[in-house]
Amino acid sequence: MKQTVVLYKSKYGAAKKYAGWIQEALSCDAYQVGEFQWEAITKYDLVILAGGIYAGGISIVKDLKKHLTALADKELILFAAGASPFDQKMLEELKLRNTETLHREIPIFYGRGAFDEEKMTVIDRMLCRMLKKSLSKKEPKDFEPWMKELFEWDGKGCDWTDPKYLEELLAYTKAFESAGKDNR
């Protein structure tokens, strides 16, 4: 039987919540990436890496790059949690931006995260306010989906996390488990 592990990096909790749901659905191990003992990676066939999106980057990708040699013979999946509604164009750009230097194909999945100004660092709060102010100079009809969400945000916390966003990832994982390792 194939062994799966979920490694996550979560700044405000959404990626951790998704990692827990994946762990429950697949009956697999899950670790915060900073606490994972990398010598144990040898016992896993599939590694799901989950992280939040910040300024177009998936937080866990830095860890992925750091341990790329240890992950060379593993099937990898990226899961990104972000505040924006799903948008295929955004997902393609996210994949290109985060995986183009890895020189291997890694499927990426997306789920909506959470947005709560009270939990944000001062810097993140300031960046969001500056971005929202800059959006006020644009025509709303020209907004991308994430711009519309940010512009309409009323300052209250929002949590869009939902296990439904994991359906495609879980189906992909089940197909991997039944078909074996072939896409490397």
11-62 pLDDT per residue, tens: 889 999 999 999 999 999 999 999 999 999 999 999 999 999 987 889 999 9
What pLDDT does 184 receive?
A: 40
pTM: 0.83
What pLDDT does 146 receive?
A: 67
At residue 39, the 3 state secondary structure works out as helix
87-101 pLDDT per residue, tens: 898 899 999 999 988
**What is the number of other CB atoms lying within 10 angstroms of the CB of residue 171?**
10
- Confidence band, pLDDT 50/70/90 cuts, at residue 153: low
Which domains does the chain show, CATH number per domain?
4-116+158-179 (3.40.50.360), 117-156 (no CATH)
- CA distances, 184 to each of 17, 47, 94, 95, 104 (Å): 29, 14, 21, 17, 8
- CA distances, 155 to each of 44, 71, 116, 135, 152 (Å): 42, 40, 8, 15, 9
What is the phi-psi region of residue 88: left when phi exceeds 0, alpha when psi lies from -120 to 50, beta otherwise? alpha
What pLDDT does 155 receive?
A: 66
Strand partners, 4: 46
- Residue 10 or residue 149, greater confidence: 10
Mean pLDDT of 60-85: 94
The separation between CA 147 and the C-alpha centre of its own chain, rounded to angstroms, equals 19
**Mean pLDDT taken over the chain:** 88
At residue 45, the 3 state secondary structure works out as coil
Q: Which of 100-114, 127-141, 170-184 has the highest mean pLDDT?
A: 100-114
- Residue 43 or residue 142, greater confidence: 43
- CA distances, 68 to each of 6, 62, 170 (Å): 16, 10, 23
